[in-house]
Amino acid sequence: MLPLGLAAKRTGAVVTVHPLATKAAEQAFERGGNAVDAAVAAALTLGVVDGFNSGIGGGCFILIRKPDGTFVAIDGRETAPQKASRDIFLRDGKADPNLSRTGALAIGVPGALAAYDLAIREHGRIDLADHLGQAAAIAEEGFALDKAYLGRLGQAVEKLRKFPDSARIFLDADGNPWPSGHRLKQPDLARSYRKIARHTTDWFYRGPFALKTEEWMQANDGLITRADLAAYKARRREPVRSTYRSFEIVGFPPPSSGGVHVAQILNILESFDLASMPPGSPRFVHHMAEAMRLAFADRAHWLGDADFTPVPRGLVSKKYARKLAKQIRPDKVAKIEGHSMPPDADTDLFNSHTTHFSAADSDGWWVACTATVNTTFGSGVVLPGTGIVMNNEMDDFSAQPNVPNAFGLVGADANEILPSKRPLSSMSPTIVLRDGKPVFSVGAAGGPKIITQAVQAIVHFIDHDMTPAKALGQARFHHQWKPDGLLVEKALSQTTIDALRKIGHTVKVTDSIGAAQALGLGHAGRPFTGAADPRGRGVFSVTP
């Protein structure tokens, strides 16, 4: 690490879902950090100001493009504890969703902190302790709760009431959400951040936090032990690399389904002239939705942690995509009963609520990171005295074949629960290259809608030649095969909705779908361009 203040400043760009997280990234650039530092600074700050979405009690995927053109994929996904078994959520032969979504059994071994530590040690310029200290100051001083935060509190109030430390921090004395403008201070979280800064991540994975976790689990019928935390490792993965038109697409591999299915959907769509289809037109939405359906049918059968289950590389084969594309008819919804069979499915294999943020700098570092505690406020648990919101990622396993999780996704044996296994994720941090140079980065929040948001942004960027801001401003839609329904934003025209229903789509209209963030290479003297999703409160910034 370089001494603070001695590194030359570089031009950096960042986009996050919260102004304070973007500011933290700006300050990392100003202190001589690179895009990796900016991303980690943003991540740790989001754990304070956006803790209902992400934090060190959860997990993440980090995709890094280095100045020499090589890529690093760091897997900080949670793992199942050693005492976990396939049927832990079954009661009287049926999956009980309450057990996998709230409380002790819902919690997977957290991986985000290990991933941030690995990213900084190997690729950053500022010590992790410094980033932790900056975020701890925000937790201690507090910040005003905005409409978005209060909305999430309202959604999770019943869950938070079940756990004393959660209620003490996030609810008032009567057990209700804090009023608008309340300054939320989190001194316990600040102390935890500072203890990690002082004692390294060992405090979390091998020291007092691990001991406190084991004691709380034993008292609350949970499974995680000190040994589980001590055994956790962030993994380096080989990114999924594919092409679309004349661009290269780099995504995250299993246990993310995002990299595989962003590539698969784009491969299918290469068979169609999307540039001639106006965004939001019936033809455009129909062809995109059909490609989504085909990919999600495959996801339900094939995808899981590639360290434990065979995931065919043929899913991203161009030949396989052309075969699937032939099922798409321009004037009728196709009948898709289930998964298809990719080439060499038994031999050519991959191996070893949410937030997205991206950063880039003039030295050539690009970072796309998606982090999560899963659903709003995760399991609802804040471990006593730590201020750390714990995830409910165990719900992302298939508790029982073909039984939907919190996002309506179904899965098969490929995503069954096993000790140390990582649950399947839809997180899709993606970097797009042209002639070997990064030109666009995108990711999103929204469960399975993450994949389809990333695809739509990339298509608008490439096929419709849109800026990041314009691409993210388009009306969105989503289809995940099961349940069989096309979800569309109300911004889509009624004419398009009527036309889609006429050819067989079951259309459901919603106010908004997900939240995406994007960065792009600038032009006309601007080094970078970018946009936070107009549906949220995020901020894009260029420094200096």
Which residues are tagged catalytic?
354
| Token duo for residue 143 | 């910040």
| Token duo for residue 19 | 């102004």
Q: Return d(Cα 270, Cα 249) in angstroms, integer.
A: 13
Instruction: Tell me the one-letter amino acid at 236.
Output: R
64 pairs with which residues across the strands? Answer: 72, 367
| Sign of the Cα pseudo-torsion (443, 444, 447, 453, in order) | negative
Contacts 24+ apart (CB under 8 A), 280-284: 280/474, 280/475, 280/492, 280/493, 280/496, 281/496, 282/495, 282/496, 282/499, 282/500, 282/503, 283/330
Q: Return d(Cα 429, Cα 434) in angstroms, integer.
A: 17
- Which residue matches tokens 């932790």? 132
| Token duo for residue 403 | 């039984």
**Helix, strand, coil proportions of the chain in percent (round to 5)?**
35, 20, 45
What stretches of 262-373 adopt beta strand conformation (E)?
A: 311-312, 349-350, 354-361, 366-372
| Sign of the Cα pseudo-torsion (283, 473, 154, 400, in order) | positive
Length in residues, the chain: 544
What DSSP element (H or E) covers 427?
Answer: none
Q: Return d(Cα 137, Cα 143) in angstroms, integer.
A: 11
The strand order across the sheet containing 366-372 reads 235-237, 71-76, 59-65, 366-372, 354-361, 12-16, 539-543
Residues 159, 216, 75, 358, Cα dihedral to 10°: 50
Question: Looking at residue 413, what DSSP letter applies?
Answer: G
CB atoms within 10 A of CB 98: 12
Q: Return d(Cα 20, Cα 138) in angstroms, integer.
A: 9
* DSSP reduced 3-state for 159: helix
DSSP secondary structure letters along 462-528? HTS---HHHHHTS--EE--SSS--EEEETTS-HHHHHHHHHTT--EEEES---EEEEEEE--TT-SE
Q: Under a CB-based contact definition with an 8 Å cutoff, are residues 336 and 295 in contact?
A: no
* DSSP reduced 3-state for 447: coil
* Cis preceding-peptide flag for 255 (omega within 30 of 0): yes
Q: How close are the terminal C-alpha atoms of the chain, in Å?
A: 22
Instruction: Tell me the one-letter amino acid at 259.
Output: G
